[in-house]
Structure 1
């Protein structure tokens, strides 16, 4: 699934780096930490590769 915001795309990139061992898992915080645990490498690749062009910085939740 593609990222819906710049923040989500960046969090996916950080989680992907940790999953690949390029970054320490202990350095992750918040959304990237949860993404690393719950998503596969393929899912993270797809989300992290989303273009940031035209995306909002953050998307407000519906809660």
Structure 2
């Protein structure tokens, strides 16, 4: 399932970085923290790899 907004794609990228150990989990906040806890690395990778071209900043 691709990300539906740029904000969702960014949050998934931050959560994925934390899952992989490239960023600290304690630095996460809001949606990225929820995504970290509830999604697998594969799911996060799918969201984070969504092209941002044509996506709205926030889903409506």
Tell whether the structures are fold-level matches, with TM greater than 0.5. yes
Question: 1:44 corresponds to which residue?
Answer: 44
5+ unaligned residues in a row in structure 1: which ranges? Answer: none
Give matches, 1:6-45, under 5 Å: 6-45=6-45
List 4+ stretches of structure 1 deviating above 2 A.
Answer: none
Give the 3-state SS of the residue equivalent to 1:55 in structure 2: coil
Larger Rg: 1
Aligned Cα root-mean-square deviation (Å): 0.5
Size of the alignment, in residue pairs?
60
**Normalising by structure 1, what TM-score?**
0.93
Give the 3-state SS of the residue equivalent to 1:43 in structure 2: helix
5+ unaligned residues in a row in structure 2: which ranges? Answer: none
